[in-house]
Amino acid sequence: MKAILQDLNYQQIEDLVLRLGEKKFRAKQLYDGLMQGKRISEINLSKELRGKLLDEFEDCPIEIIKTLISADGTEKYLFRLADGNIIEGVFMRYKYGNTQCVSTQVGCRMGCKFCASTLGGRVRDLTSGEILSQVLVVNAKHKEGTKRGVTNIVLMGSGEPLDNYQNVVTFLRNVSQEGGINISPRNISLSTCGLVDKMYDLAEEGLPINLTVSLHSTTDSERARTMPVANKWKIAEILKACENYFKVTGRRYIFEYALIAGENCDSRHAEELINLLKGKPCHVNLIRLNEVKERSLMAAEEKQAYTFLSLLQKGGLSATLRRRTGADVGGACGQLRASYAQEQENNDN
């Protein structure tokens, strides 16, 4: 695989253009084209410069190979990377703007029992430019004139963002760079299964992004049943790291809590969750589990989900039950890629 131009920030593009013996102003043309989601071969450049760039860099680091459109307007994409690996992403429309969910790794090695992304383990990390390119191509698809197509980003696709720390931080800087696609860090949420040491590092980056932690249980032993990472980091350590994040960045934090039938959503769990989180500057995002066909875990009934929600709210927590967008077009994280892989296998046999 060749290098990827989208890995470079503006300064680095300028250095490259100068190294290739071109005038400095070419850097802006090139950078603007890239930020508009164009391939090198589509950007208005001299033939000579284009040739030099194509010798060294991938023309198209990422390509949408399949789009599924849900009745609620949600779009799911399968992307093919330059080395043939497949990742997926989601585009959701809300009143306040359009949110894109990006992947940070091909596969994942965290091993959560309810998640399809981790079924085949981690294949590789994505580069910062591969993460950015997901945003650039989807933004290009949805932008209207000068109005951005993507206004918000969540790092909640396949992969554990803090397990690919440096590339993810570079992505966060480049996607929020002025003069680029310039999405405000305040409109970006990073979700982690709770890699505590990296949560402390993230607080020091000077990036006021929203931090989301996948909690899904109220005790360490129960959490370890579905999330192997619980054997490494305790809930108490996660809560301390969240408090530190708030202290350093001033940002409230969010907990994801997927309601799994018979596992984590009776009144005892509601009580424990209230005891853990009461008075903290946080929000709880409930979601009924998206059932993954390779896994035996089942979603809580809708009625039970609303009962759980009202217990949390009565207990003084800020909590909402998230609607399951796009459930008709491919369900949970990683399912699309997994079913694509299965299809390819069936075709080959």
Q: Return the number of the residue (296 or 347) whose C-beta is nearest ligand SAH.
A: 296
Q: Is 332 in the site for ligand SAH (CB under 6 A)?
A: yes
Q: Which two tokens stand for residue 125?
A: 């990390």
Tell whether residue 165 is a contact of ligand SAH (CB under 6 A): no
Tell me which residue of 184, 196, 188 sits closest to 237, measured CA to CA: 196
Binders of ligand SAH in range 91-120 (CB under 6 A): 110, 112, 114-115
Catalytic machinery residues: 88, 333
294, 295, 301, 306: CA torsion to nearest 10: -110
Residue placing its CB nearer to ligand SAH in the complex, 10 or 165: 165
Which of these ranges, 48-56, 86-94, 129-137, 287-295, lies near ligand SAH under the rule CB under 6 A? 287-295
The half-sphere exposure of 52 on its side-chain side, counting CA atoms within 13 A, is: 12
Using CB under 6 A as the binding rule, the residues of this chain from 141 to 160 that contact ligand SAH are 156, 160
Give the nearer residue to ligand SAH in terms of CB position, either 40 or 168.
168
Q: Which of 45, 317, 333, 336 binds ligand SAH (CB under 6 A)?
A: 333
Nearest-approach distance from CB 112 to ligand SAH, in angstroms? 6
Closest CA to 154 of 213, 91, 102: 102
Q: Does 287 bind ligand SAH (CB under 6 A)?
A: yes
The span from the CA of 90 to the CA of 325, in Å, is: 10
CA–CA gap between residue 227 and residue 218 (Å, rounded): 12
Cβ proximity to ligand SAH, 35 vs 90, nearer residue: 90
- Take residue 151 and report the two structure tokens written for it: 């206004």
Determine phi and psi for 3, rounding to 5 degrees.
-70, 170
Choosing from 132, 195, 289, 319, the residue that interacts with ligand SAH (CB under 6 A) is 289
Closer to ligand SAH by CB, 45 or 239: give it: 239
Does 245 contact ligand SAH by CB under 6 A? no
Question: Should residue 74 be labelled a site residue for ligand SAH when binding is judged by CB under 6 A?
Answer: no
Q: Tell me the closest approach of the beta carbon of residue 118 to ligand SAH, in angstroms.
A: 9
- Residue appearing with tokens 């004139």: 145
CB 151, min distance to ligand SAH, A? 20
Give the C-alpha separation, 170 to 328, whole Å.
34
Is residue 27 within 8 Å of 13, Cβ to Cβ? Answer: yes
Classified as helix, coil or strand, 62 is strand
Residues 166 to 225: which contact ligand SAH by CB under 6 A?
A: 191-193, 214
Contact call for residues 91 and 100 (beta carbons, < 8 A): yes
Comparing CB distances to ligand SAH, the nearer of 43 and 289 is 289
149: which 2 tokens? 């197509």
Instruction: Report d(CA 312, CA 301) in Å as an integer.
Output: 17
Alpha-carbon gap, residue 187 to 172, rounded angstroms: 11
How many residues are given for the chain? Answer: 349
In the shown chain, the binding pattern of residues 24 to 63 toward ligand SAH, with x for contact by CB under 6 A and - for none, equals ----------------------------------------
| Footprint of ligand SAH (CB under 6 A) | 110, 112, 114-115, 156, 160, 191-193, 214, 256, 258, 287, 289-290, 292, 332-333
